[in-house]
C-alpha cells in the first residue's frame, strides 16, 4: 500500500545541501547515494539565499540541475521551503522582521532562524518563496513531498508579536474580563483596562504572571502553526497530491503543542537527537518514536532527522557506538516510522554545524560511518520488501498522558519546587515500561482512553474540568488510572484549584491533600521505598493507603504514618495516587500494584505490530549478548520457520510473522 | 497604654486582598477572621488598577463596602497606598516611568514594582492616589494606620535618576571637587569637570568606581525615602492622628538604610521570611526582630508580614514545621513586636505568588495551617490581655554595630576576597549570642554605646573618623569592644586608610596590620581554632596576643607565631581584635575571653522585658523536650505562682512576672 | 651596549600616577624611589582627564613639574599616551565613541577602556593627545620611551566597527565571493550578496558562523593595531630617537596576535599577573617570559607590569610569598627582560583597583612589601652592572608553536568538545619542559624551525597549507615534530579539511583519523597512561604505534588495540602524533620518546645565556632547600671561582659565567 503517494518502500536518506559543494561533487553524491540505497533526500532547507540572491530575483537553475540529477539517479525529493533562514539581505531590507529577545534586544542575522514569525514582511516573503518553488517544481517527477520550514521554535517579543498575541487572546478568551480572570490580574495590580495594554512577557522587575506566560507559550505554538499553514495552503493549492510535512524539534524543551500541529500536517515528522549515549539513548529513542506515533494518531509518520555519527551537543558531543545508528533507526521503524532520515548527507566543511555528523563524513566514504550507512540502507530495503507489517498498528495496552501545556506551566518560576520536572516524570513512566517490554501510546488529556487497560498521569499540573471528568468516567468504566504528585492542582489557565488538592482528581482518587512539602533530602516509606523531591499531606476520603510515610520528615512535617501511595476503587476501576517521587524500581512496583504485568526486557526491545488477522514481532537486541525471543511463526529475514523461539545476536534484529495469536515472550 | 492611637491589644491579621475574590467570599472572610481573632488587616497594597481603572477615574465603591464590612466585624484597617504596583495603563501613558536596568534595558509592566522612583509622573501619581485615598477614608472608623507602598527596593538607572543622583551629590558633597576627591576619580581618568557628566553606575567596560557605586546605593535609599515622605506628608496632613508606616524588606540584601528610614516612619514595620527552616529559622527570626527593635529605637514596632505556611523561596519553598508559625510570631512579640501579621489572608488562585502561603490556604479552613492560625490568634489575645510587659523595654547588655553602608561597600567587586560577607559576619555575632541566651541590641556606628557592657564590630569595612573616635572613647570609659577583621580600613567614602590597617581602629586596638592574606584553605591558630577565608599580618603596638597563627600558611605567607587575636587594655576598657574568621565555637570562646558570660540556651529562648520596678520573662521553647526555666514570680498564662522554676513543654511558651530583681536561669 | 637609547642598566620601577596624590607626596615619592633604586617610571597612563580637563584645553603644568622632579631625582620616564581611558566629557561629546556589546547595549563611562577603537572621533582624539604630549615633551631630558595606550583589548560591535570590518575583509579576502567561500555561507543561507550585509558577530538566534567569528577576532587585533600605529607614527615623527612600546595584556585570553604586533613596536613589553601562587606562579612566569622573548624575536623586551604584592584577581586575590616578587622578576630577567616594572608605584586610596598592590602599599614604606622592593632594586642594580650576559641570547633547542588564531578558533561554540583548551595544551607542553629544565622558544606556524632539535605542536586546530608543508620539510630535513590531537584539521579560515584527519598533517604523521571520540571518562592506554577529554580512531598509513588504546572505551567506541600514540620516520626526521590528552607525566614520557633529554629540575630554574665565545648560567632557586648547580666558571655575584658547582640557598639566585663549553647540570 502506498503510504505516501507513490511510496511503498521505507524512506532512506537525509538533508541534502548541494549548494555547499561544487557541482562536480553532486555527481559523486548521487553515486554514493545509490551505493547506500538512498531513495529520498530533503532538499533546500537552507537555500533561500541561493534561490533568491537578491530581492525578487530567483536563481532556480542550480536547483533544476540537482533535481534532474537526483531523478536520473532514482532518488526522490522532499522539497523544502527555505523559510527557516532568510538571507542576510532580507533582514537589511526588513529590520522589523528580526526577532527581539525577552529583554528587548533585537537580534541580528548571522545564524539561522533569526526572524519574527508575526512580522508581516516575513509572513509575506515566506508565502512568496513557497509559491515560487511550487510553481517551479509542481510537475517535476522527483518531487515526493513538501518540507515546510525547519524545526519551528523561534520566539519574538516585538510589537508585531504583541498585536498578534492580543488578537489570539481575543479569539481564545473573547473578552478582556475573561483574560483578567484567567490570569488573576487582580494580584499585583495587573488588571488590564484595554487590549492594547497587554504585552508579550518581557523583562520586568520581578516574577511574571504565570497565566500570561502560559498563554504566551500557547500563542507561540499557534502563531508558528499559522505561519506553517499559510505555506501549506499554497502548496496544497498548487500540488494537491503532494503531502506537506514539517519536522518537529524535540528534546529538553517543546516549542509547540504537537497534538494541534499533527492535525495540520499531512505527515508527522520528527527530528531526534538523544541527549545521551548507550542504553539511555535507546530508551530516549523509543520515547520519541512512541510520541511521534501517538501524535500521528494512526497515520504514517517519519523520522526526518537523526545524526549519522557524533551527536552535535553543547559541551561534549556524543559518540555513537558501532551499530547504534542502525539500531536507533530500526527502533523508529519498529514503532511506526516509514523510514529513517538523517541530517545531513554530507558533513559541511564550514559553518556553525561543521562538526555535525554527515552520512558522508569529513573523512569521506572510506569510514566506519559510511559503511554503516550502506549497511543500514540494505537493511531497510530488506525490511521494506516484506509486505503488511509496516501498515500494521503498533499494539499498546497502556497509555501515558502527554500535554505540552502542563509542561509549559510547570516551568513557571513561582512553583513550590524547581525539582518538579515534567519531562522527567513522563520519561520515567515511559522508561520503566520500556525496560519491562511494555509498549505504550501517549494520549492528550482529552484523548480517548477506552482502548487502554491502564492510563498513567505523571505530574499533570493543569487539566480542564471536562478532561478530568472523562478520566473519572474511564475509571468508573473499569480503567486503571495512576496519577502522580502535583497533578490536577490547577485549571487549564494554571489557576490553583481550591478546597484541597489534587483538585481535579480528588474524587476519582478518593484523597484530599491539605499541604505540599517539597523536600531536598529523601523521606522513607513503609514499603522501604524512598520518596524524593516532593511529599504531600494526604488524607483518605475513600481511598486506602498502599504505602505510608515513615519516620521523621526532612522538613519536620508530621507525615509519619500518613498515606504516601493510595488506591481507590471507583466504579468498576481503580485509581492510584503517588504523592512523592519514587526511583524507577519503586515506580515499577507501583505499576505492578496497578495490575500491569512487568518483566525485565534486559535490552531486547520487542514491538508487536498488529493488523486484522495478522501479527508481527519486530525485535532489536541492544544487549551485548545473544538473546532468545520466544515465538511461533516465520522469521521474515531468514525465511526460516520459528518453532518456539529465535536467537537474535548482540546488536541484531528480527522481524517475525506470528502464527496465530501469541504474546511475545523474552528469555535468555 | 495605647501604643498606636486606639490600639492596646496585640495586632493580628495580614494582607487582605478582597479584589481578588468575588464579593460573596468577603463575608466568609470576615467570619473566618473573627474565628481566628484577627483584629487588623492591611488593605489595598496592590489595588491601584482596581481603584483607578483608568487615568483619573476612581472606583472606591468596592473598597467602601470592604471597609464597612470589616468595621462591622470589628476589624481595623491598615490602609495601604497602592504605589508599589502601578496599573498597566500607567506605564502605557508614562513609558518614562518604567525603570531601566544597569544595562539600559527598559523594563515592561507585567510583574510588580516596575517603576522609576525618580520619574516625575510616577512621583506625582503616587501622591495623587495617596491623597485620594486619604480624602476618601480620613473619617472611616475602621482606619487604624497607613501603610505606604510595599517593601521599598526598586532601582532604576535612567536619566531621571541621573538628574536626581546629581542633585543628591550636590547636597551630600557640596562641590564637584569633593565628589572627585571622595571617589578618587584621578584613577582611570574619571575626573568630572561638570555635574552633567556624572551618571548612575551603568554597564561599563570593566570594574566600576566603588565610590560611585557606594554613593549610588546611599542615594537610592534616600531617593526612595523621598518618595515615601511625599506620601507620608499628605497622609499626615489629612489624617494627623493616624500613624504612617511602611514595611521594610530584609533578607539577603538591604535596599535601604533602616536607621534613616526609621526616623521618618511613625511605626517601624518589617517583613520577615527566613531563608531556612528549623533552628536556623528561629535564629534568623530573633536576628530580624532585634534589628527591627533597634531601628525603632525604643518605639513600638510591628512584624508586618510573615508566611503562614510554606515560605515562598526560589528553588524549593521551605515548609514550616507544626507550631513553627506560632513560635516565630511569639519570638517577634517577645522581642518587641506589637503583634504578628501575615502575607496574606487568603492564598491567591493565580498570579506570580499563587503558591505563597495564606492564612486561609488553597485547601480552605479545614487545614492544619488555618487551625494554627486560630490557635495563634487565641494565644496573642491572651498575652495581650496582660498589662505592662508589652510596653516594657527589652533588656540588652550587648550591642552589635549594624551599618548598611558597610554592607554595600563590602559588595564592591574589587575587594581582596569575595568571601568577605558582611551579613554573615553580623549574623554570626548575633547567632552565637542568641544560642547562649544573650539578648542584644543593634546600634549604628554613630550610636550611643554607653548602655552596653560590650560592643561587637563585625567586619565594619568603612567608618567615619568621628564614629571611630567615639568607639575609642567608649573603651576608654570602660567598655569592651570586639572588632573583627577588615574593619575600619576605609573612610566613609570607601577610600582606603593609609599608614597601616585597620586604619580607624589602630589606636584603640593597639595593633598595626601590614598586609592582608585572603585564604581558601584554613590556617591553624595556637588555640586550636582554625581561621578561614581571611588572615592578616598583625604587629602589636600596645596590644597583646591572645592567639597566634601557627604553622605553615596556605598562601606561603610567614605568619607563624604572629598575632591572630589580640587584646588591648585601653583606658578603663579593653579592645579585642580578631584578624581571621572563626567558626561559631571559636567566636564564642572569643566572646567569653571578652568577658561575656555565655551558657548554651539549648533551644529555650528567654527574653527579659524590664520597666521601672517590674520585670518579665518571655520564654519560647524551640526544643523537642520539656525545658525548665528557673525564676520566682508568677506565671501569667496559668496564673500560678512560680517558686524556683517553671516547666515549658516542647514548642511551648511562658510569660512570667518576676518577683524582685532576678537574672533568668535556664536548666534542664 | 645601550639596548634602548641611553639605557644600559636594567629598568626598575613602575606605573607612577602622581595625579592621584597631593603635590607634597611627590617629593616623598622621589625620595622613596631613590631608596628603592627606581630608574624608570611609566607616567600618565590614565591622566587624560587631568591633561585635558575639557575639550581642547590642556593642563600640562602639573606634568611638567612631575617630569622635572623625576629628572632631578635621576629617574627616567616612559611617558604614556592616555588613550586607554578617555575623560567623562569625551563620551558626553562623542556618544558614538562609546563601545557597544555583542547584544547591542552601549556602554557608559565609569570604568576604563570604554571606547570604540573604530570610532573616528576617538581615533582623532587619540592622535591629537599623543601629538600634544610629544610636542610638549619631545625635548625633556627625562623622556626615555613612549608607552602608547594600555593593554589593548577592547571590543565593540557598533556600526563604525561594521564599516571597518568590511574594509578589512575587502583587504583580506579581495572579493565577496572569497568571503562567502571562506565562511561557507551556503550553510544556513548566510550568503552575502553585498558587503553592506556583513555585520560584526552580534547577538543572533543560535550558533554564529565560526568563520565570521574568527575573522572578527583577527580584524579586532588588526584594528587595534591600526590605532596603535597612528599614535606611534606621530611619536616617531616628533621624537625619532625615542622607542615606542605598548604593554601586551595576557592571561586567560589573548585579544591580539602578538606576532603581528611585535613587528610594529620598538620594544615588546608585557604585563604579567599569574593566576595562581607558588610553583604554578613560577611556571606561569617562565611561560609568559618565553612568549615575550619569542615575540620580540631576538630584540630586547621588557616586563612592564607585575604586582608588587597581592595579585588583583576576581574572587580571591592571590598573596605573594616572601621573596616571590624578587624571584618572579629575576625569572623574567633571566629569560630576556631588560628589567622589572610594576603596577603601580603607590597603591591607590580609591577607585576600582584600590586594593591592587603598590610598591608603596597602603601601610606605607614600613612594610614587608616595600622592604622587598628595596632589596629587588639592589639586586637588579648588581646584576645590571655585569657586562655581556644581558645582551646574550637565551639558549633554546626546543620550540613550541604558538598561534593566537588557533586559540580563537578553538573557542568556537560548535566544536566537538568544550574540553579542547588551546591555552592548557600549550601550557602543558611548556610546563613539562620547564619542570625538566628545558628552555624553549615559541614560534609562529610560519616560523623558522631550523634552529630547533624538536618542535611541539599542541592542538593547533587550524593551519595554512604552506605552513604545514614547511613543517613537513623541517621533519624531512631531520627535525622532530610532536603533534597533539585535533591539530591541522582545519584550514586557515577554520574550514574542516576533508579526506581524513588530521588533514594538514596526515602525510608527515603517516596516519589517517577517521573519527573523533570526545570523552568524559578516561580511556586506558597500553603504556599504562590514561587518555582524557579526547580520543580518535587512528589508522596507520606509514607510522607505527607507540601506544594503543586498551579495553572498553567510555563511549562504547571500538578503539581497543588501535593506535593512540604514533611515530613516523619521515625523511631524515621523525613525527609523533598524540591522539588523546595525557597527564604531565605521560606527556613527559612522550617527549622522552621523541628524543628529548629530560631530568627533573625540582625547583631550580636555570637559563643559559649564550653569545659568541661566552656563556652564562642564570639560576633561580624556587625550592625550599639549598640546591647545587654543577658548573665551572665564575660566580659573578660573589666573584668566587666555581669549580664543579655552586650552592644556591632556598629562594636565592646566581649568575655564573661559564668557563668553556658546558652543559648545566643540576643536582642535590
DSSP string, B159-205: HHHHHHHHHHHHHHHSSHHHHHHHTTTTGGG---SSGGG-------S
- All structural domains of chain A: 398-593 (3.40.50.880), 604-667 (2.60.40.1180)
Assigned C-alpha cell, C54: 575639557
- Residue to mutate among A188, A419, A498, A554, with most B CBs inside 10 A, is A188
Separation in Å, CA of B181 to nearest CA in chain C = 9
CA distance, residue C360 to nearest chain B CA (Å): 10
Q: Is B90 in the A-facing interface, judged by CB distances under 8 Å? A: no
Q: Do A203 and B101 touch (CB under 8 A)?
A: yes
pLDDT-derived band at B661, boundaries 50, 70, 90: low
According to the model, what pLDDT value does residue B668 have?
A: 34
The answer to whether B116 is a known ligand-binding residue is: yes
| Set of chain B residues whose Cβ sits within 8 Å of the Cβ of C623 | none
Kindly give the interhelix angle for C120-137 and C61-72, rounded to the nearest 10 degrees: 50
- Cis ω before A344 (30° cut-off from 0): yes
Sheet holding C480-484, edge to edge: C440-443, C398-401, C454-457, C480-484, C573-578, C563-570, C544-550, C523-525, C530-531
d(CA A497, CA A512) in angstroms, rounded, equals 12
The predicted pLDDT at position B121 comes to 98
Averages of pLDDT over runs of 10 residues in chain A (668 residues) are 73 98 98 98 98 96 98 98 98 98 97 98 98 98 97 98 98 98 98 98 98 98 98 98 95 94 97 94 98 96 97 94 97 98 98 97 97 98 94 96 98 94 98 98 98 98 98 98 98 98 98 97 97 98 98 95 98 98 97 94 97 96 96 94 96 94 49
Q: Is B89 on the interface with A (CB under 8 A)?
A: yes
- C99 in reach of chain B (CB within 8 A): yes
Grid coordinates in use for B184?
Answer: 578618587
A347 and C CB contact within 8 Å = yes
Segment C337-342 shows an average pLDDT of 98
The pLDDT, as a whole number, for residue A42 is: 98
Contact flag C414-A361 (C-beta cutoff 8 Å): no
Question: C170 CB near a chain A CB, below 8 Å?
Answer: no
A305, A372, A507, A605: the catalytic one is A305
pLDDT score for B644 = 93
Instruction: Please indicate if any CB of chain B lies within 8 Å of the CB of A488.
Output: no
Q: Which of A52, A151, A283, A605 is catalytic?
A: A151
Q: How close is the nearest chain C Cα to the Cα of B406, in Å? A: 15
Is B88 an 8 Å CB contact of chain A?
yes
**Predicted local distance difference test score (pLDDT) of residue C86:** 98
Mean pLDDT of the region B117-124: 98
B514 touches chain C (CB under 8 A): yes
* Closest partner CB to A500 (pick from B19, B109, B364): B364
pLDDT at C667 over 50: no
How close is the nearest chain A Cα to the Cα of C534, in Å? 10
Contacts with B414 from chain C: Cβ below 8 Å:
312, 352-355
Asked if C184 has any chain A CB less than 8 Å from its own CB, the reply is yes
B39 is in an annotated binding site: no
Nearest to A93 by CA among A70, A122, A116, A129: A122
> C312, B189: Cβ pair inside 8 Å?
no
Cβ under 8 Å to C: B residues 12-51? none
* Active-site annotation holds for A151: yes
C112 is in an annotated binding site: yes
Start-end of H helices in B201-323: 210-238, 258-264, 278-296
Q: Residue B316 is nearest to which of A207, A418, A515, comparing CB atoms?
A: A418
Question: If contacts are CB pairs under 8 Å, which of residues 104-143 in chain C contact chain A?
Answer: 104-105
Strands A573-578 and A480-484: parallel
State yes or no: pLDDT of C666 exceeds 50: no
pLDDT value at B665 more than 60:
no
Q: What is the number of other CB atoms lying within 10 angstroms of the CB of residue A644?
A: 9
Please list every residue in chain B whose beta carbon sits closer than 8 Å to the beta carbon of residue C310. 416, 515-518
Q: Is the pLDDT of residue C468 over 90?
A: yes
- Which has the closest alpha carbon to A337: A394, A289, A393? A289
From the CA of C357, how many Å to the nearest CA of chain B? 10
CA distance B445 to B442: 10
**Best residue in C316, C323, C623 to probe B by mutation, most B CBs within 10 Å?**
C316
**In the predicted model, is pLDDT for residue B519 greater than 70?**
yes
Residue A62 near chain C (CB below 8 Å): no
The ipTM (two decimal places) reads 0.96
Q: C382 in contact with A at a CB cutoff of 8 Å? A: no
Contact A49 C212 (CB under 8 A): no
Please state the separation of Cα B525 from the chain's center in Å. Answer: 34
For A278, A324, A369, A468, C519, the CA distances from C557, given in Å and listed in that order, are 11, 10, 12, 48, 10
CB contact (8 A) between residue B187 and residue C87: no
Chain C residues closer than 8 Å to A99 by CB? 205
pLDDT value of residue A667: 38
pLDDT tens-place string over residues C615-652: 999 999 999 999 999 999 999 999 999 999 999 999 99
B317 chain-A contacts, CB cut-off 8 A: 416-417, 518
- Quick check: A185 and B114 CB within 8 A? no
Asked if B206 reaches chain C (Cβ–Cβ under 8 Å), the answer is yes
Grid cell locating B517: 592574606
* Whole-number pLDDT of residue A666: 45
Mean pLDDT score across all residues of chain B: 96
What value does the mean pLDDT take over residues B171-199? 98
Say how many CB pairs under 8 Å bridge A and C: 207
Quote the CA–CA distance of C106 and C156 in Å, as a whole number: 9
**What residues of chain A lie within 8 A of the CB of C178, using their CB?**
none
Q: Which residues of C are catalytic?
A: 151, 305
Residue B465, number of CB atoms within 10 A of its CB: 12
For the stretch C60-91, pLDDT in tens is: 999 999 999 999 999 999 999 999 999 999 99
Residue numbers in B near C314 (CB within 8 A) = 413, 418
- pLDDT at position C250: 85
Residue C5 has pLDDT above 80, yes or no: no
What is residue C176's predicted lDDT score, i.e. its pLDDT?
98
Mean of pLDDT values over C113-122: 98
The helix (run of H) or strand (run of E) holding residue A222 is helix A210-238
Q: Identify all chain B residues contacting C92, using CB atoms and an 8 Å cutoff.
A: 196-197
Can you tell me the distance from the alpha carbon of B197 to that of C92, in angstroms, rounded to the nearest whole number? Answer: 7
- Grade residue B666 by pLDDT with cuts at 50, 70 and 90: very low
- Give the three cell numbers for residue B123: 512621583
Least Cα separation, residue A558 to chain B (angstroms) = 7
CA-CA distances (angstroms) from residue C219 to A238, B309, C95?
48, 59, 23
Which residues of A fall within a CB distance of 8 Å from C184? 20, 348-351, 354
pLDDT at C663 over 70: no
Kindly identify which residue of chain A lies nearest to residue B49, measuring between CA atoms. Answer: A189
Q: Which residues of B touch A169 (CB under 8 A)?
A: none
Alpha-carbon Rg for chain A, nearest whole angstrom, is 26
Distance to chain C for A54, nearest Cα, Å: 7
Of all residues in chain B, the one with the smallest CA distance to C54 is: B193
Chain A closest CA to C498's CA: distance in Å? 5
| List of chains touching A (3+ CB pairs within 8 A) | B, C
Burial C190-219 (b: 16+ CB within 10 A, else e): bbbbeeebbbbbbbbbbbbbbbbbbbbbbb
How is residue B559 written as a grid cell?
605568619
The model's pLDDT over B38-89, given as tens digits with 9 standing for 90+, comes to 999 999 999 999 999 999 999 999 999 999 999 999 999 999 999 999 999 9
Q: Does C310 touch chain B (CB under 8 A)?
A: yes
Q: Which of B17, B50, B110 sits opposite A191 (nearest CB)?
A: B50
User: CB A355 to CB C416 under 8 A?
Assistant: yes
Return the closest-CA partner of residue B433 out of B595, B601, B579, B280.
Answer: B601
Amino acid at each position: 500500500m502506498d503510504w505516501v503517494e507513490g511510496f511503498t518502500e521505507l524512506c532512506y536518506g537525509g538533508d541534502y545541501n548541494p549548494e555547499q559543494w561544487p557541482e562536480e561533487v553532486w555527481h559523486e553524491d548521487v553515486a554514493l547515494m545509490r551505493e547506500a540505497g538512498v531513495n529520498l533526500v530533503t532538499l533546500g532547507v537552507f537555500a533561500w539565499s541561493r534561490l533568491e540572491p537578491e530581492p525578487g530575483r530567483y536563481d532556480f537553475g542550480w536547483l533544476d540541475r540537482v533535481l534532474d540529477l537526483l531523478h536520473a539517479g532514482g532518488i526522490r525529493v522532499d522539497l523544502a521551503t527555505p523559510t527557516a533562514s532568510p538571507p542576510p539581505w532580507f533582514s537589511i531590507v526588513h529590520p522589523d522582521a528580526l526577532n527581539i529577545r525577552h529583554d528587548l534586544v533585537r537580534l541580528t542575522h548571522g545564524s539561522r532562524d533569526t526572524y519574527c514569525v508575526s512580522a508581516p514582511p516575513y509572513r509575506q516573503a515566506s508565502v512568496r518563496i513557497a509559491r515560487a518553488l511550487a510553481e517551479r517544481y509542481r510537475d517535476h517527477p522527483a518531487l515526493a513531498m513538501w518540507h515546510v520550514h525547519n524545526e519551528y521554535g523561534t520566539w519574538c517579543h516585538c510589537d508585531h508579536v504583541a498585536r498578534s498575541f492580543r488578537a489570539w487572546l481575543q479569539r481564545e478568551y473573547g473578552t478582556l474580563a475573561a483574560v483578567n480572570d484567567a490570569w488573576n490580574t487582580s494580584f499585583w495590580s495587573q488588571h488590564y483596562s484595554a487590549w492594547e495594554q497587554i504585552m508579550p512577557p518581557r523583562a520586568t522587575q520581578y516574577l511574571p504572571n504565570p497565566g500570561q506566560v502560559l498563554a504566551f507559550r500557547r500563542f507561540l505554538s499557534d502563531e508558528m502553526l499559522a505561519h506553517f499553514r499559510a505555506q501549506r495552503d499554497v502548496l496544497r493549492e498548487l500540488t494537491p497530491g503532494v503531502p506537506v510535512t514539517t519536522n518537529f524539534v524535540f528534546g529538553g524543551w517543546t516549542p509547540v503543542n504537537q497534538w494541534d500541529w499533527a492535525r495540520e500536517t499531512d505527515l508527522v515528522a520528527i527530528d531526534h537527537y538523544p541527549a545521551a549515549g548507550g542504553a539511555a539513548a535507546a530508551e530516549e529513542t523509543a520515547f520519541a518514536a512512541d510520541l511521534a506515533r501517538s501524535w500521528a494518531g494512526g497515520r504514517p509518520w517519519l523520522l526526518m532527522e537523526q545524526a549519522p555519527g557524533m551527536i552535535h551537543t553543547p559541551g561534549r558531543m556524543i559518540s555513537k557506538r558501532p551499530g547504534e545508528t542502525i539500531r536507533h533507526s530500526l527502533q523508529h521503524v519498529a514503532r511506526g516510522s516509514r523510514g529513517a532520515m538523517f541530517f545531513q548527507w554530507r558533513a559541511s566543511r564550514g559553518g556553525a554545524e561543521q562538526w555535525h555528523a554527515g552520512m558522508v563524513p569529513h573523512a569521506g566514504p572510506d569510514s566506519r560511518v559510511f559503511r554503516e550507512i550502506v549497511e543500514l540502507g540494505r537493511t531497510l530495503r530488506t525490511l521494506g520488501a516484506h509486505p503488511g507489517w509496516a501498515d500494521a498498528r503498533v499494539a499498546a495496552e497502556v497509555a501515558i498522558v502527554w500535554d505540552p501545556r502542563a509542561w509549559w506551566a510547570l516551568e513557571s518560576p513561582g512553583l513550590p519546587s524547581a525539582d518538579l520536572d515534567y519531562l522527567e516524570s513522563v520519561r520515567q513512566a515511559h522508561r520503566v515500561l520500556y525496560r519491562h517490554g511494555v509498549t505504550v501510546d501517549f494520549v492528550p488529556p482529552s484523548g480517548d482512553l477506552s482502548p487502554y487497560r491502564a492510563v498513567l498521569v505523571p505530574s499533570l499540573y493543569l487539566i480542564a474540568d471536562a478532561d478530568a471528568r472523562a478520566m473519572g468516567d474511564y475509571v468508573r468504566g473499569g480503567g486503571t488510572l495512576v496519577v502522580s504528585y502535583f497533578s490536577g492542582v490547577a485549571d487549564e489557565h494554571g489557576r490553583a484549584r481550591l478546597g484541597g488538592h489534587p483538585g481535579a482528581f480528588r474524587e476519582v482518587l478518593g484523597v484530599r491533600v491539605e499541604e505540599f512539602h517539597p523536600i531536598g533530602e529523601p523521606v522513607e516509606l513503609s514499603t522501604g521505598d524512598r520518596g524524593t523531591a516532593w511529599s504531600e499531606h494526604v488524607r483518605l476520603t475513600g481511598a486506602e493507603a498502599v504505602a505510608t510515610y515513615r519516620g521523621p520528615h526532612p522538613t519536620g512535617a508530621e507525615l509519619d504514618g500518613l498515606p504516601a501511595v493510595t488506591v481507590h476503587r471507583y466504579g468498576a476501576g481503580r485509581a492510584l495516587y503517588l504523592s512523592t517521587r519514587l526511583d524507577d524500581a519503586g515506580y515499577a512496583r507501583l505499576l505492578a500494584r496497578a495490575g500491569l504485568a512487568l518483566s525485565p526486557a534486559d535490552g531486547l526491545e520487542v514491538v508487536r505490530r498488529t493488523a486484522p488477522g495478522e501479527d508481527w514481532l519486530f525485535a532489536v537486541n541492544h544487549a551485548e549478548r545473544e538473546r532468545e525471543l520466544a515465538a511461533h511463526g516465520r522469521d521474515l529475514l531468514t525465511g526460516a520457520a520459528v518453532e518456539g523461539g529465535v536467537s537474535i545476536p548482540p546488536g541484531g534484529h528480527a522481524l517475525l510473522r506470528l502464527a496465530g495469536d501469541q504474546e511475545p515472550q523474552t528469555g535468555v
